[in-house]
Structure 1
Amino acid sequence: MARAFARSISFPLSPSRSSSSSKPRAPSSSYHARSVSLPCRSHPILAHLHTHIRAVRAWAQQGLSALVASVAVGLAHVDALQAALGDLLDLPEAQAALSGAGGSVDRLLDSFLRLADAHGCFQEAMVALKQDVAEALAAVRRRDGARLASAVRSQRRAGKELARLAAAARECAVRPSRLSILSGGQGSAAEVEVTGLLMESAAATASASAALFGTVAALSASVASETCSCNGTASLVCLVTKNKKKKAAPGFGEDETAVAAVAERLEELEECIEELETGSEKVFRSLVQTRVALLNIHTLHIF
């Protein structure tokens, strides 16, 4: 048993617990519930990391309507998870455990690279979508049906790109689970525990990213559909043409109400995109920093 504990990560106890541990006390079987890689009273960083993983997973598992109302919250949860990962990777004990997990670290580096690329593409898609929405709004205000139709077509293309990114993120969520199978039972208990936390964090991040990209794609598609649908009062392209011919007609006021309603939906989407821009930039940088920290640990071990 002494050899097994000698290679484990030995995280210190909190000050209050450290003072009480100086007094002799009888051993308790409850203190041996965890693996040998970490002490039973886990380091605060680990508890913090588990809390953020649960928060990210809980957000990603909500229904579409709840996700639409909290897309910025989802980004904040992912950013907080990456910050907690950074705290873990700063620990010398965690770095020592990862230094011997070469193959696992290689695959984790690949997973975080894919996630960073996905969020980089998400930022580009947000820029394009914001331009399309602004163009659609300008067309609505100027009663330019041809310009509006062109803007909506571009908006739909941006939505398809977001749907593709969501599918790619879902694939990233699958890869860490494969990694856990490949590395199961290999390496020290410390290596297994730390790589397992990284795998779980990558999978949670990928799931939340897929939910985020899919939600924005669905929101964009919904607004585009309302803008161009010929059913009900949202047939804006049709209304623009009709309004040019019916400015003095009795029903003009109702048509104006319909135009205003669609313009309001476009403005709401524009506000949502602006809210996401800052959050997506932070998440992208956090993912890059996580990968750089992993790469540094891996490189130091090689050389």
Structure 2
Amino acid sequence: MASFHLRSNSFPSQSHPVINDVEDQLCRLKASQEASTSTTSVCANLASLSELHDGINNLIQKFSVQQALSHEQGQNWINELLEGSLRLVDLCGFSREVVCFTKESIQELESSIRRKADDINAYVASTKKINQMVNKCLKNLKSFNQNCAALPEKDSDLKAIGSILKETEALDFSVLKSVLIALSEANGSSKQRSWSSLFSKFVQTSRVSKKGTDNIDLKQLKASEMNIQEIEEGLEALFRSLVKTRVSLLNALSH
């Protein structure tokens, strides 16, 4: 996962109390965030990010914050935040699409096992397509650069808000990348196999398995489908939160 550099010291005592609340929430998320790509860790990180964005939306909608942000319209750091928020919305949308395809592939394989079908070409083709999509996206993400424009020095609250937004963007990016890794063959760890490599085992065994083994495979596939469903729900919630944050930021700048 990415390394973050949020200030460890508290914001000035005169800072808006909502800023302090969101900073505390961000620090807790950073401290508790797990680098694992297991379903439990990924879902926990997605849920925490959604809650963080709720706090950020409440912060941005404060009248005093909207006024401060509106005065910064056109500044480099604001433009970078807007560009980054759009990239994150697109990345989260792509992740939702990949999860949907993955779930469909699982269901296709389940159907094949139930029918005792030897032809699983549709499943193999769909997983190959998914892996190609994800691997291409992961390669493109290597060119992702964290925002580097200087934050305003004249207003400590505004600088704090900018830091929060930048740190949250980095967290969003890192967690979404972990979702894609969990769903792709790019995760070549010997200790953690990707969904695709796991399902390849089912493909091999389903052709020669007996009824008892088929039932075991179906149970394992159903469990995997439920895990995918959890990730899908987490992505849906985060996607809505990312859109709300972007809309809140755009509204603030339009004042």
State the TM-score, normalizing by the size of structure 1. 0.68
Q: Residues 220, 55 of structure 1: CA spacing in aligned structure 2 closer, same or farther, 3 A cutoff? A: farther
Q: CA deviation at 1:121?
A: 1.5
Contiguous gaps of at least 5 residues in structure 1: 1-32, 229-234, 241-254
For 1:170 and 1:71, the matched residues in 2 are separated by 20
Question: Is 1:191 aligned to residue 191 of structure 2?
Answer: no
Identity of counterpart residues, as a percentage? 23
How is 1:165-184 mapped onto 2 (pairs within 5 angstroms)? 165-166=137-138, 172=144, 174-176=145-147, 178=148, 182-184=149-151
**Structure 2: which 5+ residue stretches go unaligned?**
1-8, 188-193
Q: Paired residue for 2:240?
A: 285
CA distance in 2: counterparts of 1:99 and 1:51, whole angstroms = 25
Give the deviation of 1:110 after TM superposition.
0.7
| CA-atom RMSD in angstroms | 2.7
Superposed CA deviations along residues 217-259 of structure 1, whole A, max 9, x for unmatched, are 354223223223xxxxxx225416xxxxxxxxxxxxxx44443
The 5-angstrom pairing of residues 20-169 of structure 1 reads 39-40=12-13, 42-58=15-31, 60-64=33-37, 67-101=38-72, 102-103=74-75, 104-146=77-119, 148-166=120-138
SS at match of 2:35: coil
The structure having more radius of gyration, on CA atoms, is 1
Q: Distance in 2 between matches of 1:198 and 1:62?
A: 21
Cα deviation digits, residues 186-214 of structure 1 (max 9, x gap) = 55444322211111111111112212222
Q: Deviations over 1:76-107 (max 9, x none)?
A: 11110110110110122322332233321111
8 Å CA contact 1:133, 1:270 repeated in 2: yes
| Equivalent position amino acid for 1:150 in 2 | A
CA deviation vs aligned residue, 1:19-58 (integer Å, no higher than 9, x gap): xxxxxxxxxxxxxx86xxx642654422332233234434
* Structure that is richer in helix per residue: 1
CA offsets 1:156-182 (integer angstroms, 9 cap, x no match): 42244344445556655x323x2xxx2
Q: Indicate the residue corresponding to 1:224 in structure 2.
A: 199
Amino acid at match of 1:62: A
Distance 1:264 1:170, change over 3 A: farther
> In structure 1, which of residues 289, 296, 303 is the aligned counterpart of residue 251 of structure 2?
296
Q: Which has the higher contact order (CA 8 A, sep 6+)?
A: 2
1:88–1:221 CA distance, 2 compared to 1 (3 A) = same
Work out the number of aligned pairs and report it: 237
